[in-house]
Structure 1
């Protein structure tokens, strides 16, 4: 297997604010249909104390000409691979929202296998990976897919009304939904590092009880934080979410 280059790393991993002296890094993983820019406000708020990185998946924004990746496992493999392209001994934490939470879990499993577990795994807006719902949003027609996006309020509604932009983004969104809806937790034991689960109390994609199932995925510390709101509760509670991240990483960021 060829060793990934720095150019590949920069294609996959975005850094909005330079923080070379930060003692800890936070890799943010977007939701289905999301992009790295979703985490720009997080980077602005946490830098320079914490260096915020954000993954840019293929098939969107400046990578829209590239084919999307069809499974969570392959996406985790690719990100895991490019993370090895740059030498950096600082602790790495992971924050993933929705599909990004499950992707974060898979990435954490790969990093643990390397002997370098994440400092903290933050899983937001997603039920535990051992829970299962039969979901088929990816099989809906375009109108059905747009209706799903509007119901979750996760995509700018102005974009949803622009037919030309919709034609560009719907294939990537559909692919992401296919990847997460066909995901099944693989065999294997729990992680050893801490998990912090964050959930809205009215999230249609995960009940609070389903979010509690993340406790089964680590032999280490588990924390659950419940916020008022739905699937994108974090938009209305950004400061509180940032405080949770900062507090959980305090031991590494001092």
Structure 2
């Protein structure tokens, strides 16, 4: 199976856990490295029916684990934009955490290029695309990769301690790390949509300066909110994060 062939499967890519047909806006959510669409099930449940939440399911995980992973963010963005085409009938915003924030940015670039300006881009737990760090975690052996994931608390340690489950998820984690770490920003016109950045004050992956640099990627408004915690601060601030999303998307 090739990347081109998996791009033709509509239902596999976009998950709509709590359909909200009366909502005036949509929120498209992009998982972190190694993550899956189900991570956003609670967000969908909380925001419905005011906001119609869509979660992107990348190839190579959960019910798509038999499909090849896509270790390149630009290729992945191209594929996602194809799958979002049927969902552009109402205004939408984009939310991504960690690797998902960079992917959401690349999707926003493509949408604006084709004439669709998102309501907002919410970038969580990720430095600005133009701020590069040399990282090679994806080249570590399995033990090294697992140690890094546990350090960031991005995947439940119970899952990582289960050898059978671990064998299933490790390839997608490594592929996503490769996609995030080999990404290189290519200068493009600034976005026109507002950019809202969420960051943890103890996140080893994002300094305050790196988070503030998102302001250089939009001609629209820019906001930054800091939360207590590390890379997955949003796990401990779910209510506050979803409230911020609701406030931004319903106060229009």
The CA deviation at 1:21 is 0.7
TM-superposed CA distance for 1:234, in Å, is: 0.2
Distance 2:97 2:52 in 1: 18
CA deviation vs aligned residue, 1:164-206 (integer Å, no higher than 9, x gap): 1111111110000000000011121210110000000000110
| 8 Å contact from structure 2 (residues 7, 82) kept in 1 | no
User: CA offsets per residue over residues 205-226 of structure 1, 9 Å max, x none?
Assistant: 1011110000000011000000
Alignment pair present for 1:8 and 2:4? no
* 1:112-139 alpha-carbon deviations (Å, 9 max, x no partner): 0011111100000000010011100000
Which residues in structure 2 correspond to 1:121-160 (within 5 Å)?
A: 121-160=121-160
> What does 1:221-236 align with in structure 2 at a 5 Å threshold?
221-236=221-236
Q: Is the 8 A contact 2:6 2:67 kept in 1?
A: no
Alpha-carbon offset, residue 87 of structure 1: 5.5
1:85-133 C-alpha deviation (Å, 9 max, x unpaired): x254210100000000000000000000011111100000000010011
Aligned to 2:240: 240
Alignment-derived partner of residue 45 in structure 1: 46
Cα distance in 1 between the residues matched to 2:218 and 2:12:
31
Alignment map for 1:63-78 (pairs within 5 Å): 63-78=64-79
Structure 1 length as normaliser, TM-score?
A: 0.95
Matched length:
248
Aligned position for 2:196? 196
Provide closer, same or farther for how the CA distance between residues 88 and 130 of structure 1 changes in structure 2, counting only shifts above 3 A.
closer
> Structure 2 CA distance, aligned partners of 1:98 and 1:90?
26
Q: How much has 1:245 moved relative to structure 2? A: 0.6
Q: Distance in 1 between matches of 2:174 and 2:118?
A: 29
Superposition deviation, residue 5 in structure 1: 11
Contact 2:96 2:122 in 1 (8 A): yes
Distance 1:87 1:70, change over 3 A: closer
SS at match of 1:95: strand
Q: Partner residue of 1:61?
A: 62
Counterparts of 2:70 and 2:237, CA distance in 1: 31
Consecutive unaligned residues of structure 1, counting only runs of 5 or more, are: none
Displacement of 1:83: 1.1
Partner of 1:179: 179
Cα distance in 2 for residues equivalent to 1:81 and 1:27: 14
Structure 1 residues 193 and 141: CA distance shift in structure 2, 3 A: same
1:32-84 Cα offsets, whole Å, 9 max, x none, are 00000000000010000001100000000000000001200000000001111
Alignment partner, residue 249 of structure 1? 249
Task: Give the distance between the partners of 2:32 and 2:190, measured in 1 at CA.
Answer: 23
2-structure distance, mates of 1:197, 1:242: 14
If the length of structure 2 is used for normalisation, what is the TM-score?
Answer: 0.96
Between the aligned partners of 2:135 and 2:177, the Cα distance in structure 1 is 9
